[in-house]
Amino acid sequence: MTDLNTLESDVLAQVAAAGDLQALDAVRVAAVGKTGSISGLLKTLGAMSPDERKERGAAINALRDRVQSAITEKKASLEAAELDARLARETLDLTLPGPYRRKGSVHPTMQVMDEMVSIFADMGFAVAEGPDIEDDFHNFTALNFPEKHPAREMHDTFFFEPKETGERMLLRTHTSPVQVRTMVSQKPPIRIIAPGRTYRCDSDATHTPMFHQVEGLVIDKGIHMGHLKWTLETFIARFFETDAVTTQFRPHHFPFTEPSAEMDVQCDRSGGEIKIGQGSSWLEILGCGMVHPNVLRACGIDPDEYQGFAFGMGVDRLGMLKYGMPDLRDMFASDSRWLAHYGFSGFAAPNPASGLS
Ligand code: PHE
């Protein structure tokens, strides 16, 4: 047995001495590989008497197991050491200036969102949110879109694969489902805005498949269109930071409001740029109306007791108008040059007291 003991201490010493994974693997091959020293010993068993084989065989196998587990243990510790060394080697000194000293900036859409939230918060609105992935009930049915009504198609909806139940989830086509979620979970009086992402299968200079809206909802007793008009005109004047904004209501149709209107802002389009507060053109910026009694009923609110108004505006479009960005698609092209040009300082949080932008 001395030969086995010597072999074992030899191999174990080699395992202990292996300085890296490559050296350890060489030790492994030389000991327990196909033609290794321990494997060689196992091959000598065939020529032995059964009794001798039993005893020797057990001893050699036990030796092989001990060597194998020593190798496994050593491998783990070498790997850990290698990882530590790599982590130490690959540290990055974030305090060093990069080759391009470009500052991060706030995306114009987020800037405009912040401006809108700060104006509406000042007017007493709370912020509400809902999921981007909606169900048919919140996006359409509760908003008085009848089943199979063509108005559902108008929205160019992105649908998910139907579930086993046949139900199809969708990417919300507007922020109006947040109206429903709010009315279902909150008692009037309600005064909220709901900023968020919306999705429609559409792309050109003034449409992108993902865009942003801010929804507004007011529910109380005795609410009428005069309240809606004042709220929107006050918002527009504050947002564009001028009193010289002229707006007009145009009759429109939305299933969830009655009467419904779109609001346009007077602008000048001559010279390839859009200028607000002058000129003879009109640009549509939002949809609005008095909340339809069917919507109130679907949300458990008695339309004989409560009335309300709602509006939904395109955030990116308002940004284009205010900051003179000609193509909506550029806003989501992730071009850092565009961001460097149109972005805002992260330190200038908009508020109505110290200024918006
Ligand atoms: N949800 C409508 C749209 O996306 C806008 C809207 C909101 C109209 C609220 C009326 C009331 O087109």
Predicted confidence band of residue 98 (pLDDT cuts 50, 70, 90): low
Q: For ligand 1, atom 9, which residue shows the shortest CA distance?
A: 311
Q: What is the pLDDT of residue 152?
A: 74
CA-176 nearest atom, ligand 1: 1
Q: Could you tell me if 30 and 141 lie in one domain?
A: no
- pTM flag (> 0.75): no
Q: Give yes or no: residues 84 and 165 share one domain.
A: no
Domain hosting 119: range is 108-336
Distance CA 91, CA 320 (A): 42
Whether 158 and 126 map to the same domain: the answer is yes
- Residue 212, pLDDT > 70, answer yes
Q: Are 217 and 174 in contact, with CB atoms under 8 Å apart?
A: no
CA-proximal residue: ligand 1, atom 12 (nearest): 287
Residue 343 lies in a domain: no
pLDDT level of residue 121 (50, 70, 90 thresholds) = very high
State the pLDDT at residue 2.
56
Is there a single domain that holds both residue 134 and residue 241?
Answer: yes
Residue 125: DSSP 8-state = P
Do 130 and 80 belong to one domain?
A: no
Query: Chain centroid to CA 350: how far?
Result: 23
Say what percent of the chain tops pLDDT 90. 56
pLDDT at 102 over 70: no
User: How many angstroms is it from 54 CA to the middle of ligand 1?
Assistant: 86
**From ligand 1's centre to the CA of 176, what distance in Å?**
6
Q: How far is CA 235 from CA 1, 145, 158, 287, in A?
A: 95, 29, 31, 14
Of 89, 121, 143, the position where a domain reaches its end is 89
Pair (125, 39) in one structural domain: no
What span, in angstroms and rounded, lies between the C-alpha atoms of 196 and 212?
Answer: 6
pLDDT at 275 over 80: no
- In ligand 1, the atom with minimum distance to the C-alpha of 179 is 9
**What element of type H or E holds 201?**
none
Statement to judge: residues 85 and 144 lie in one domain: no
Residue 231 CA to residue 276 CA, distance in Å, equals 19
Pick 148 or 113 by higher pLDDT. Answer: 113
Structural domain contains residue 101: no
In a domain, 41, yes or no: yes
Indicate whether 19 belongs to any domain.
Answer: yes
Model confidence at 73: pLDDT above 90: yes
Is 253 a domain residue?
yes
CA of 102 to the centre of ligand 1 (A): 38
Q: Which of 171, 172, 174 to mutate to test the pocket of ligand 1 (most atoms within 8 A of CB)?
A: 174
Domain-embedded: residue 189:
yes
Domain count, the chain: 2
Is a pLDDT exceeding 70 seen at residue 1?
A: no
Q: Of 62, 89, 116, which closes a domain?
A: 89
CATH of the domain at 288: 3.30.930.10
Domain annotation covers residue 347: no
- Residue, of 270 and 331, whose pLDDT is higher: 331
The dihedral built from the CA positions of residue 316, 318, 321 and 323, taken in this order, carries a sign that is negative
pLDDT band at 249 (very low <50, low <70, confident <90, very high): very high
List residues near ligand 1 (CB under 6 A): 174, 176, 215, 254, 257, 287-289, 310-312
What is the pLDDT of the chain when averaged over all its residues?
Answer: 89
Mutation test residue for ligand 1: of 254, 258, 260, the one with most atoms within 8 Å of CB: 254
Cis before 189? omega within 30: yes
DSSP code of residue 229? H
pLDDT of the residue at 289: 98
**Residue 357 to residues 110, 121, 262, 313, Cα–Cα distance (Å):** 12, 17, 27, 20
Do 128 and 194 share a structural domain?
yes
Q: Are residues 84 and 170 in the same domain?
A: no
Domain co-membership, 182 together with 303:
yes
Residues 136 and 241 in one domain: yes
**Burial group, residue 96, by CB count within 10 angstroms (0-12, 13-18, 19+):** exposed
pLDDT digits (tens, 9 = 90+) for 29-68: 999 888 889 888 888 888 888 888 888 888 899 999 999 9
**Helices within the chain (DSSP H only):** 2-17, 21-32, 37-43, 50-89, 108-122, 136-139, 150-154, 177-185, 225-239, 293-298, 315-323, 336-342
Between the CA of 214 and the centroid of ligand 1 the distance, in Å, is: 10
Query: Which domain-ending residue is among 58, 89, 120?
Result: 89
Which pLDDT tens digit goes with each residue over 333-344? Answer: 888 888 888 988
160 shares a domain with 64: no
Q: Is residue 167 part of a domain?
A: yes
Mean pLDDT of 313-341: 87
Q: What distance in Å separates the CA atoms of residue 74 and residue 275, rounded to the nearest whole number? A: 73
